Amino acid sequence: MAVYTNISESIIQKFLADYNIGEIVSYTGIKAGIENSNFLLKTRLGCYILTIYEKRVQAVDLPFFLGLMEHLALKGFPCATPIRRSDGTAWGEIYGKQAAIITFITGTSPQEIMLNHCQLIGQTLAKLHICGASFSMERPNNLSIESWMPLLERCSQLKALKNDNLTIGLKETISHLETYWPTKLPKGPIHGDLFPDNILFRSNKVSGVIDFYFACTDFFAYDLAICLNAWCFESDGTFSINRGQSMLSAYMNERPLNSSEVKALPILSCGAAMRFLLTRLFDWFDTPDTALVLKKDPMPYINRLNFHKEISKPESYGLNLHDRPK
């Protein structure tokens, strides 16, 4: 979440006229995140999140994003959901940009990652994949492997990479990933961005998953690889095999990985590190200074990428041999 578009109370009041959630009491811009403009709304009937869609979010993708959230909620999965307008639609416009009001979920993101968080993440991600499997809509992953070489070129144009050897090394790694990237793994709707700031906890339980605006149709195991990158590295850059084991065991207790998914974990994890290195690098240099946004440091992902490149066996992530499919 972030704020790129500043709005007045009168604009919000006009927008709320098409909803049945009460009159506005207060609103506050939310700095966390990097993609959209978000505001915490308090009305006479409760708290909500107002999202104005910016940058990468296109109107054509909103039916998938918002529809998936509604589908998961109907399946009993804990997540934020869009509030329907009086005419039944899920979004409107503010300043010519698409905007929606989303339910507010009580809870906090972890400031320090513990083993129980990783266990709950594995369990929650598997349930998301299971519940989402019956969702009929599809959306390609616009930030998958086909986008990485062009994105690296854009980073180079922004002078984001000062080291020519690093640029050459990244190009070689992307070429390797393009050659060996799997093509026939189980797929369906994935979250695509399940970092600590996109899941909320309350009383040591998951209270809700938020921010589905990178959701798409892709390999379930790739979503798991994203979480290994997001949750299982220590602050000093080392991989925590205990965190990895907690996450993978919990995931496989809900949705066992097949042998092809297990074998692909190293290359999927390497690709996930590449994706977030490049997008964070691009956003670091491309985000306007006037935006109320907390930029995310891309540099830890160089170390994570190098770690994954050295991995040849999925057991190195903490996968328990007894959990592996026969």
Rounded Cα distance between 228 and 181, Å, is 18
Higher pLDDT pick, 214 / 157: 214
pLDDT in tens, 87-139: 999 999 999 999 999 999 999 999 999 999 999 999 999 999 999 999 999 99
Q: What is the mean pLDDT of residues 16-41?
A: 87
What pLDDT does residue 106 have?
Answer: 96
CA distances from 281 to 2, 273, 284 (A): 17, 12, 5
Judge whether residue 186 has pLDDT over 50: yes
What pLDDT does residue 6 have?
Answer: 77
What pLDDT does residue 284 have?
Answer: 80
Is the CATH code 3.10.28.10 the one for domain 115-323?
no
pLDDT band at 326 (very low <50, low <70, confident <90, very high): very low
Q: What is the mean pLDDT of residues 240-267?
A: 97
pLDDT in tens, 43-58: 999 999 999 998 778 9
Domain edges within the chain: 9-103, 115-323
Query: Closest by alpha carbon to 266, among 315, 299, 320, 325?
Result: 315
Rounded Cα distance between 233 and 307, Å, is 10
- How many other CB atoms are there within 10 angstroms of residue 22's CB atom? 14
Higher pLDDT pick, 170 / 158: 170
Judge whether residue 196 has pLDDT over 50: yes
pLDDT in tens, 286-321: 665 544 456 688 889 999 999 999 998 999 999 975
Query: Closest by alpha carbon to 296, among 281, 286, 317, 316?
Result: 281
Q: What is the mean pLDDT of residues 12-36?
A: 87
DSSP state of 84: P
Give me the phi and psi of 223, to 5 degrees please.
Answer: -60, -40
DSSP state of 257: P
CA distances from 200 to 27, 245, 249, 306 (A): 21, 22, 21, 30
What pLDDT does residue 289 have?
Answer: 55
What pLDDT does residue 146 have?
Answer: 97
CATH class of 9-103: alpha beta
Q: Is 167 exposed, middle or buried (0-12, 13-18, 19+ CB in 10 A)?
A: middle
pLDDT in tens, 268-290: 999 999 999 999 998 887 665 54
Structural contact between residues 199 and 124, judged by C-beta atoms closer than 8 angstroms: yes
What pLDDT does residue 164 have?
Answer: 77
What pLDDT does residue 34 have?
Answer: 60
What pLDDT does residue 296 have?
Answer: 80
Residue the block writes with tokens 């602050």: 235
